[in-house]
Chain A
């Protein structure tokens, strides 16, 4: 079957009962998306499916025919970082970095749907992504900063 990932088409073996995460990482070499729990709890594997933040460890590839999939590797516009990436870098958010692809994909989906979230809306969107290094204070500030950057870029 065919998958469309970051605007590119990939042909993968037609074994539909495989979660997208394993196909991305082990078959296609897109290791930016991380394995954390395999149970849809920690959020490390978050990607976009048709713009929605989605747990790739819980998403069977059979459900993805014709879908637009975006991973962390496709978040930037070439050399130009996505505002969320720019803000996470500016505020020096990551520590170990393992959860960060999932954090940034969740944040980017939030801001695409709601470019001016309140603090409460930000928390509501980000609260299902674990960070064991405990960078939460900076994550919160960076998501709000990314909203500003998006506005600046649009203006």
Chain B
């Protein structure tokens, strides 16, 4: 399936790049060795709220591009495509610097073994941010090498050439030109540039910034795109795994019972803490689970109210994550405004449940998995079935939604255990019930606020006590947990952006008996809901217009100015100072995440007493958008998902068990409740910031603020409907 792209020979260049020649088919390839690019360190300082920038690209040659003799440029993707359009955006960056036409670009997905294996996985809106500097530099280097070769062929100096759509062109006589394809088809001693290749200046960008169509959509439109649930190979079987009756239950003893007698059952696999069935069909495998004899050790039951009480009890403890002046002293006395906001447990509800196909053979293991973390999955499989990591190859498929739920994919380990037992490929695809009950959830949050205002209506002091369940802590070893004190995934979005002379934000992380983890944006949506709702309450208390109140409190910094531009843009789009239609009200909110600023206005009304969101306006400043239509799509989608979460969703627990077993108990937003969405993309620089999560940040707060304006009654808990 995968073409042979391993170069016959690698040569180290002065700048840490590797050049490969003599490719199958006679192409030229460029790769790089890199550990932690300096660019990432610089970027880390730019995002106080995002300090987890894992980078564990292996120190092996990484093959990024091959130029084929027919002129096509194949780019290998380290990041997975889960609908965020990342393959297209990364290819745009590369095409721009290579100087080829967009039509020449094609992409293939890297596996966990390379050629561009990325241990960091695809998450946290970091793909474009982190790869932008590296990709540009590598593509520009390859372009300059081609330029030198082309100039040589044309008998002119490199300075007399220009690069045009995959050709080296004689600037004086444009008819004299030679294509990249011709250059790489000839044997040549490739020279590496002695100086850093110049990057194309932003004012000359022709592909970056264009709304080019997504590369993955033609296959998706025809139903031909292959996702983890669709992975099929010859001779495969289907697996199913026994699930505990209560959260935290351990399998004490298991026996095959009558399962082996059921026609179509191939094997019953029982290991420490694990019982599963392999069968000729998925339906048979699941049916046979009922034939097993299972003895579970049950932990004490608990219910949702107990979890929420645990959070509330921790308010005020934890680590300080933001401090200015002396907020505690300033809050002694009268006139303190207080409020508490809560968000519930929630599911990712990715429409493609967890799925993996794994083929364990004596000499090697191959897996096709719907995962955001192929390298981690490969390591885990190797560990669980006792193989060397370099013999396990995980190829990520398209993902039918990720949203953080496919950062950890135990389904691949389950399929590996089953496949190892039968020596044949086994596919495991979870049911919707398994997806709801046996994965992990977005943790609940509990945030209390206290503030005072000055006589002229400014915020004098503000304290926030933030509590959340784990988001990233479960992925951390204990020393790191101690070092960080609280889970920065949980408090993502909880720091205030406003200029407040006395400010303190404390964050606490609480272990809960329910597995919780990353959900799109981590804490962003819930925390911005709390912060920006409270800011709105203060605006009301100060007798100010909520937009004016925000503008007045923005710091006089570059970031403050970006916020001002976004707020003013969204206000202009929505006609903020005009009367909304009768029976409706508007609310505003803003946020920053992964460097990207978003400002939303939501217009709401009540239909037979039920909240209805009619229109949403969004101004988004991602620095610069690689693909504006792609970013608009992420904004529209993030708004819908955020609305769904805030309006309708919550996971409830009774008797130690998640109650929702399907969408009948966990309905999502539908097209009937979807608002009209208007998006404007702003530009504030030449470095792209995050796109997958940040644009959803303000939506829940904007809606809650609109609702409070409409009814005069403040809602501080989801679901809002």
Residues of A within 8 A of B223 (CB): 31-33, 71-73, 75, 101
Once the chains are docked, how many angstroms separate the CA of A149 from the CA of B349? 33
In contact, A97 and B398 (Cβ under 8 angstroms): yes
Does A127 lie within 8 Å of B282, measured CB to CB? no
CB of B388 within 8 Å of the partner chain: no
Would B637 and A133 count as touching, CB distance under 8 A?
Answer: yes
Q: What does the 1/0 interface line of B663-679 toward A look like (CB < 8 Å)?
A: 11000111110101100
- Which single member of B349, B633, B664 contacts A132 (CB below 8 Å)? B349
Are A133 and B83 in contact, with the CB atoms below 8 A? yes
Residues in B with CB closer than 8 Å to A27 are 281
A135 B351 Cβ-Cβ under 8 A: no
With A37-B432, A95-B83, A134-B669 as contacts: A22 and B283 at CB distance below 8 Å: yes
Q: Chain B, 654-668, contact with A by CB distance < 8 Å: what is the 0/1 string?
A: 000000001110001
- Find chain A residues with CB under 8 A from B230 CB: 25, 31
> Is there an interface contact between A135 and B221, defined as CB atoms closer than 8 Å?
no
Closest to A98 in B: B400
In the complex, chain B residues 368-402 whose Cβ is within 8 Å of any chain A Cβ: 398-402
B638 part of interface (Cβ distance < 8 Å): yes
Q: Cα distance A23–B713 when bound, in Å?
A: 53
Query: Which of these, A26, A37, A44, contacts B238 with CB under 8 Å?
Result: A26
Q: Are A123 and B672 in contact (CB under 8 A)?
A: yes
Interface of A is mostly: loop
Does B556 reach chain A (CB closer than 8 Å)? no
Which residues from 5 to 39 on chain A have a C-beta closer than 8 Å to any C-beta of chain B?
Answer: 18, 22, 25-27, 29, 31-39
Taking the complex as formed, is A117 at the interface, i.e. its CB lies under 8 A from any CB of chain B? no
- Chain A residues whose CB sits within 8 angstroms of the CB of B222 once the complex forms: 32, 72-73, 76, 81, 85
Chain A residues, Cβ within 8 Å of B226: 31
Do B668 and A132 touch across chains, with their CB atoms under 8 A apart? yes
Which residues from chain B contact A139 at a C-beta distance below 8 Å?
Answer: 671
In the complex, what residues of A have CB within 8 A of residue B662's CB? 37-39, 41
Q: Which of A31, A94, A96 has the most CB of B within 10 A?
A: A96
A51 within 8 Å of B (CB atoms): no
CB of B350 within 8 Å of the partner chain:
yes
Please tell me if B97 contacts chain A, counting CB pairs below 8 Å: no
Q: Is the CB of A96 within 8 A of B83?
A: yes
B619 at the interface (CB under 8 A from A): no
Chain B residues positioned under 8 Å from A123 (CB to CB): 671-672
Distance, CA A73 to CA B219, complexed state (A): 11
Chain B residues within 8 Å of A146, by CB = none
In contact, B214 and A92 (Cβ under 8 angstroms):
yes
Q: A134 and B638 in contact (CB under 8 A), knowing A35-B429, A37-B663, A41-B664?
A: yes
Determine the residue in chain B with the shortest Cβ distance to A39. Answer: B662
State the CA gap A134–B85 with chains docked (Å). Answer: 14
A3 to B238, CA, bound (A): 23
The answer for the CA separation of A82 and B57 in the assembled complex, in Å, is 43
Residue in A closest to B644 when the chains form the complex, CB atoms: A134
Residues of A within 8 A of B639 (CB): 134
When the two chains form their complex, are residues A22 and B282 in contact, meaning their CB atoms are under 8 A apart? yes
* Residue A138 is within 8 A (CB to CB) of chain B in the complex: yes
Q: In the complex, are the beta carbons of B217 and A92 less than 8 A apart? A: yes
| CA–CA, A64 and B611, complex, Å | 42
B218 at the interface (CB under 8 A from A): yes
What CA separation (Å) do A132 and B645 show in the bound complex? 11
B229 within 8 A of A: yes
How far does the Cβ of B573 sit from chain A's closest Cβ, in whole Å?
15
Is A100 at the interface (CB under 8 A from chain B)? yes
Q: Do A35 and B671 have beta carbons less than 8 Å apart?
A: no
Q: Given A71, A72, A73, A98, which contacts B401 in the complex, CB threshold below 8 Å?
A: A98
Which residues from chain A contact B640 at a C-beta distance below 8 Å? Answer: 131, 133-137
15 pairs, CB–CB < 8 Å, chain A vs chain B: A34-B351, A39-B662, A41-B663, A41-B664, A72-B223, A75-B223, A94-B220, A96-B400, A97-B400, A127-B672, A132-B401, A134-B639, A137-B636, A137-B674, A139-B671
Q: Which 3 pairs from chain A and chain B are nearest by CB?
A: A32-B223, A134-B640, A98-B400
